[in-house]
Each structure stands twice: as C-alpha cells, then as structure tokens.
Amino acid sequence: MLYLVGLGLNEHGYSKEAYEVISKAEKVYIDTYTIEFPYEISALVSQFKGKKFVAAGREFVEGLKFIEEAKNRDVVLLVYGSPLVATTHTAIVKEAFDKKIKIKIIHAGSILDAVAETGLQPYKFGKTTSLPNFPADSYLTTVKENLKVKSHTLILVDIGMDFGKALSKIETDAKKKKVNLGKIVVCSRLGLKDSEISYEQISKLKNKKFKAPFCVIIPSELHFMEKEFLESFI
C-alpha cells in the first residue's frame, strides 16, 4: 500500500497513526521538492530509530515511479503540512488509482488551517493563489476577484523567494494592476516556536525580515472581531 503522510507544521506535528505507519513501512520517502523544510530533517528522523528516510526531489516525486513499489509492500511518502494541498500530490493519488494500487491519506495540520491564527475567519477566505518567483502578475486577478465578493486572499509564496523580493513584487504588481491593497497580513513559520504574524501597510513592512516559510494574506472587508484580532499584530 502507498501512504501519503502529512507531517504537520513542525517536527512533532504528525499524528499517532502517522507514527505507526512510518514505523512499520518498508520504504519511507520524504518529499523535499514541494517545500523547503523549516527545521532540520534530522530532528524528525531521530524520532524513528533504525528507520531510513530517503529524500525525494522533484524528478523523483514527479516521475511517479515509486508508486509501483507499493504494489507489493508498504511505501510512505512524507509530506510537510498536509497531503493534497499541493497539486503534485493529487497527481500521485490519481496515478495510484489508475494503477489500482491501494493508497491511504493521513492528514495533518497545514497552512490552510493555521492562518486562522490571524483571527481572520476561515469561511471568509476565497480562492488561494501563489506568488511566483518569476515575472507574472496573474495572482492579482485572483485577489481582485476575491475582493469583489468580500473574500480574503491567501497568497502562498514560491520556494526560494525571500520576503523583501516578495513584498516588492506585490507592491509593484498591485500599482500596475491598480489594486488598492491597504494593510496586509504576513504569516511566518506558523506552527513553529518562532512563528510571527504582522498586520501593516506595505510601506511599514519594508524594513522587516520574515523567515521562510511565509505567506501573505490580502484581507477584504473585516468583521469587527477580525479587525480587533488583527490589530493585536500591529
């Protein structure tokens, strides 16, 4: 059987079920392609004495060949956060279905639920988008569409993009597209001991540094409780 196992947002974020599956599996891979781990992977590996973890990069994960291994033995692919948040993992599930290989998803905490820590109400979020590490501003189309229906926008930032570059890109693209952003929310390393949340105008965030992984939220019209909660992060 193939197991897609969510690790949650820190080295202790996985479930008891996940621990048991990992401990018993004959092969354990850890996805290092879709995320730059915010902690040392060795801190995770050390919790499973005698178990070998094999790093799975882009070519390996997208190649999907490891799925065949699960025909005759238990194979685990460990995923930061929760499985299926990344479309790459959806492709893995589809391939397993097509090959009639049994697959089980073990969920965990992810950025999609962790952003509720900002005080913004989860049901008021619209479509999620991503900030690419190359010239493109289509993500702002999603922001504009969400703002029209008074929904917040979660922007996931591409791997390798530092905060200064991300902020500059958002500011430049917003001016070009004539999108008035107002105050934005920045979430850094949610679920970890050094997590940080800030709610400010872009101009006041320029001198700040946020560690990866971080994301940006463009709030829409705020409920009074959301506003009061967010103002505690100014």
Furthest CA-CA distance within the chain: 57
75-79: strand order across its sheet: 53-56, 27-31, 75-79, 2-6, 103-106
Q: What is the mean pLDDT of residues 209-233?
A: 96
pLDDT tier, 201 (very low <50, low <70, confident <90, very high otherwise): very high
- Domain range summary for the chain, segments of one domain joined by +: 2-109, 112-233
Q: Indicate whether 98 pLDDT > 90.
A: yes
Tokens 């905060």 correspond to what residue?
163
117 vs 111: CA distance, rounded Å: 10
Q: Indicate whether 67 pLDDT > 90.
A: yes
CATH for the 2-109 domain, from 3.40.1010.10, 3.40.50.300, 3.30.1510.10, 3.40.50.1950: 3.40.1010.10
**In the chain, what percentage of residues exceed pLDDT 70?**
100
Q: Indicate whether 68 pLDDT > 90.
A: yes
Q: What is the pTM of this model?
A: 0.93
For the chain, the average pLDDT equals: 95
pLDDT of residue 34: 86
pLDDT tier, 5 (very low <50, low <70, confident <90, very high otherwise): very high
pLDDT, one tens digit per residue, over 146-193 is 999 999 999 999 999 999 999 999 999 999 999 999 999 999 999 999
pLDDT, one tens digit per residue, over 16-60 is 999 999 999 999 999 999 888 999 999 999 999 989 999 999 999
pLDDT of residue 86: 79
56 vs 77: CA distance, rounded Å: 9
Tokens 């506003």 correspond to what residue?
227
Q: Indicate whether 214 pLDDT > 90.
A: yes
Tokens 């033995």 correspond to what residue?
73
Q: What is the CATH number of domain 112-233?
A: 3.30.950.10
Q: Using CB atoms within 10 Å of the CB of residue 200, give its burial: 0 to 12 exposed, 13 to 18 middle, 19+ buried.
A: middle
pLDDT tier, 87 (very low <50, low <70, confident <90, very high otherwise): confident
Taking only Cα atoms into account, the Rg of the chain, rounded to an integer number of angstroms, comes to 19
Q: Indicate whether 220 pLDDT > 90.
A: yes
183 vs 202: CA distance, rounded Å: 7
